């Protein structure tokens, strides 16, 4: 089954404790992206990657890091989480740059930073 | 600046009545337009898209949307609403200039269908 898998789905942590949210897709998509969803703000892009070893900032990259060492994986790293990073996070993927296709989303990871 | 607006935070409709969820956009160049639906505790699911051609596009679950270039709108419609259509709906636009790879999402509209 074609899917985007995120882990963990739910996480409560404390300020300053490094964490990683993993994302994996099995559709051989070149493009992957991370979003955060906050009430009244819709989805805002954090980082995206056009292919292996190619990443770029989205609209709200502060406090986040990403890496793309393999095509299928695109982890989101919070080096020192803060309460304003409490949010619902989505990973998404789609075929390459010239494709007119839609994004495929994971189920989401709800993060609470105390 | 590229942007997507969903002017209604919430839309209430009775089951069996037609529904419309509004979306307007502002992008440079020709847009690709999308609608997604989000059920509670789930990720976003693709409903339909407009790339080119016929302004009326049909998608999943009986939904359709009309692209209106002069009004820069892409409203989502369904002739007869179901209670199971109750969810959060997002409009998105993918701009074909400037930042080619970027999707811009609206703030979402909560659809409530009452029995």
Integer Cα distance of B11 and B114 in angstroms: 11
Of the candidates B80, B96, B78, the one whose C-alpha atom is nearest the C-alpha of residue B37 is B78
Ranges of H-type helices in chain B: none
- What confidence score (pLDDT) does residue B99 get? 56
B25 φ/ψ angles, rounded to the nearest 5 degrees: -140, 160
- What confidence score (pLDDT) does residue B90 get? 96
Give yes or no for residue B109 having a pLDDT over 90: yes
Integer Cα distance of A92 and A29 in angstroms: 10
Cβ separation of A45 and B45 shorter than 8 Å? Answer: no
HEC secondary structure over A63-76: CCEECCCCCCECCE
- What confidence score (pLDDT) does residue B2 get? 77
- What confidence score (pLDDT) does residue A95 get? 87
Cβ separation of A108 and B43 shorter than 8 Å? Answer: yes
Integer Cα distance of A92 and A90 in angstroms: 6
Give the three-state DSSP class for A101.
coil
For residue A43, list chain B residues with Cβ-Cβ distance below 8 A.
44, 90, 92, 105
Q: Over its length of 114 residues, how does chain A's per-residue pLDDT go in tens digits?
A: 889 999 999 999 999 999 999 999 999 999 999 999 998 888 999 999 989 999 999 989 999 999 999 999 999 999 999 999 999 999 999 987 666 788 999 999 999 999
- What confidence score (pLDDT) does residue B3 get? 87
Cis, bond preceding A8 (omega within 30 deg of 0) = yes
In sequence order, which residues have a C-beta less than 8 Å from that of residue A18 and are 6 or more positions away?
A77, A78, A79, A80, A81
B80 φ/ψ angles, rounded to the nearest 5 degrees: -145, 110
What are the tens digits of pLDDT across the range B62-82?
999 999 999 999 999 999 999
- What confidence score (pLDDT) does residue B101 get? 66
Q: Tell me the C-alpha to C-alpha distance, in Å, between residue B81 and each of A11, B12, B67, B75.
A: 36, 10, 21, 15
Cβ separation of B101 and A97 shorter than 8 Å? Answer: yes
In order, the DSSP letters of A5-19 are EEE-SEEEE-TT--E
Taking all residues of chain B, what is their mean pLDDT, rounded to a whole number?
92
Residue of A90, A100, A105 with shortest CB distance to B51: A100
Whether residue B40 lies within 8 A of chain A, CB to CB, comes out as no
Whether residue B44 lies within 8 A of chain A, CB to CB, comes out as yes
Give yes or no for residue B7 having a pLDDT over 80: yes
- What confidence score (pLDDT) does residue A98 get? 63
- What confidence score (pLDDT) does residue A100 get? 76
Inter-residue contact B109 to B9 (CB < 8 Å): yes
For residue B55 the two structure tokens come to: 């302004």
For residue A21, list chain B residues with Cβ-Cβ distance below 8 A.
none
Inter-residue contact B44 to B96 (CB < 8 Å): no
Confidence of residue B97 (pLDDT cuts 50, 70, 90): low
In sequence order, which residues have a C-beta less than 8 Å from that of residue B37 and are 6 or more positions away?
B44, B45, B47, B61, B87, B88, B89, B90
Name A49's bridge partners: A32, A55
What are the tens digits of pLDDT across the range B34-56?
999 999 888 999 999 999 899 99
- What confidence score (pLDDT) does residue A3 get? 93
Integer Cα distance of A43 and B107 in angstroms: 7
């Amino acid at each position: 089954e074609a899917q985007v898998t995120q882990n963990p789905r739910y996480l409560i942590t404390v300020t300053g404790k490094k964490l990683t949210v993993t994302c994996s897709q099995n559709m051989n998509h070149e493009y992957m992206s991370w979003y955060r969803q906050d009430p009244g703000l819709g989805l805002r892009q954090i980082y995206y990657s056009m292919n292996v070893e190619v990443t770029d900032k989205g609209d709200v990259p502060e406090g986040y890091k990403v890496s793309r060492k393999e095509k299928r994986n695109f982890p989101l790293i919070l080096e020192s989480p803060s309460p304003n990073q409490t949010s619902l996070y989505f990973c998404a993927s789609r075929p390459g740059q010239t494709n007119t296709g839609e994004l495929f989303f994971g189920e989401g990871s709800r993060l609470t930073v105390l | 600046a590229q942007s997507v607006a969903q002017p209604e935070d919430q839309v209430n409709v009775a089951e069996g009545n037609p529904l419309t969820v509004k979306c307007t956009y502002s992008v440079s160049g020709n847009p690709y337009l999308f609608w997604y639906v989000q059920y509670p505790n789930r990720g976003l699911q693709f409903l339909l898209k407009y790339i080119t051609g016929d302004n009326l596009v049909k998608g999943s679950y009986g939904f359709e949307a009309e692209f209106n270039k002069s009004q820069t709108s892409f409203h989502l419609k369904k002739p007869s609403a179901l209670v199971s259509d109750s969810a959060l709906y997002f409009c998105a636009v993918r701009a074909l200039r400037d930042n080619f790879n970027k999707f811009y999402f609206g703030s979402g509209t909560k659809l409530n269908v009452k029995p």
